Every structure is written in structure tokens, then in C-alpha cells.
Amino acid sequence: MPDVPDNNSRTSPVHLPPGGTISYTERWLSSDHAARLCKQLLESLHWRQLPVYLFGRWIPQPRLTDFHGDPGTCYSYAGLDLRGRGWPGPLAELREAVALHTGQRFNTVLCNLYRNGNDYMGWHADDERELGRDPIIASVSLGASRRFLLRPRRGERGERREFVLASGSLLVMAGDLQHHWQHQLPKALRVGEPRINLTFRQVSG
């Protein structure tokens, strides 16, 4: 089991009008453990740059990815169908720790590798049908710190929000956040180090 801090590290969810909650724990993993885990996953996961279908054409993702989950699970987005094939030891241990923190079971993890500040994630919401109506999504960050932005979806009111996701941090999105907000990880051209993001989800089917 990862050496996570005690319960005093838990943060209360912040409500984001018009809907949804978000919570951020900066030092969820110790710095030493986060560094070891980042190095281990950089070397052991099967990182690939898969194409996605956006705006009527196939384009390479501006990052590398890997996917793991319970056998039989499937997560689809932007023309990709990702299928679970089991859990490597480090990810299985981390899943248990995330479940203890959130009180939520997860059956998949999407692993993103941002090789440097040129890699990014565009504006989107995690609103795929297999995630259910109001999904709980837990995101663990390892490596370089990067900005995480939220904006109201078109037609919604609200101020933009920003978090700096540090190595070893845990961000949890819940409630109807995905129906009212979009999020992104923008480019950061001054960042030369890699960042790994592990996004735990519960998918159906």
C-alpha cells in the first residue's frame, strides 16, 4: 500500500456553482514515494501515442497514454476503444489507496504521460455514457507540476478556476461537475520534465 498521509490530509469538497464538487489534496503521497512511483511507471508502462478522431479527422494525441482495468472493462472516447487487461502491481496498490480516500471503487485507470510542457490536454468534459450520470473521477499526479484549468460549459455561468497539480497530489471531481464544467491541462513551454497523470474511473459494461 502506498505511504499516503493520515486522514488529516483529507480536504473538504468545494462546490462549484452551477453544479459539481472538486477537492484537491496537495501532498496525498509523500514526495519520496511519488518520485519512486513516477520513475517506476515511466519505465514499466506501455506508453503509446494513439490517434484520436476529432473535428472530422484522425490526429495524434499530444501526449502518450496507457490503459489498465478489470478484465472485460472498456472505456471509449474520441474514436478509441480501450480495454482492461488487469492491473500491474503498483497501479493495483494505488487503486486501493484511492478507494480508501474517496470511498469509491474504481475499475479502470487511464494513464497519461506528458513528456514535457509541449504535451497537453485540450478542453473537454468526462461525460461518456459508460461513466454514468454523475461520475467520481480521481486524478493522481506524478512528476512535474502543471496547471489544471476549469471553465463553465457553453451557456453556463461561473468563473474560471485553476489548480497547480503537484507531484503526489490527488484531485477528485464529483457530482454533476462534468455536466456544467470543462477542464484542460494547457501547454507549459518552460516545463522540461515529464508528468504522469493517473485518472481512475468506474465504467459500466
Name the residue among 141, 117, 114 with its Cα closest to residue 49: 114
Taking the domains of the chain in order of start, what are their residue ranges?
Answer: 7-201
Rounded distance between C-alpha atoms, residue 34 and residue 43, angstroms: 14
Residue 158 pLDDT:
81
Q: What is the pLDDT along the chain (205 residues), one digit of tens a residue?
A: 566 654 445 677 899 988 899 999 999 999 999 999 999 999 999 999 999 888 788 999 999 999 999 999 999 888 888 999 999 999 999 999 999 999 999 999 999 999 999 999 999 988 888 888 889 999 999 999 999 999 999 878 888 999 999 999 999 999 999 999 999 999 999 999 999 999 999 999 6
The DSSP bridge partners found for residue 141 are 197
Q: What is the 3-class SS of the chain, one letter each residue? A: CCCCCCHHHCCCCEECCCCCEEEEECCCCCHHHHHHHHHHHHHHCCCECCEEEECCEEEECCCEEEEEECCCCEEEECCEEEECCECCHHHHHHHHHHHHHHCCCCCEEEEEEECCCCCCEEEECCCCHHHCCCCCEEEEEEECCEEEEEEECCCCCCCCEEEEECCCCEEEEECCHHHHEEEEECCCCCCCCCEEEEEEECCCC
The alpha carbon of 10 is separated from its chain's Cα centroid by a whole number of angstroms, namely 18
CATH level 3 topology of 7-201: Jelly Rolls (2.60.120)
The angle subtended at Cα 96 by Cα 23 and Cα 180, nearest 5°, is 30
Which grid coordinates belong to 194? 515529464
Residue 7 pLDDT:
44
Residue 92 pLDDT:
98
What pTM, to 2 d.p., does this model score? 0.92
Residue 163 pLDDT:
96
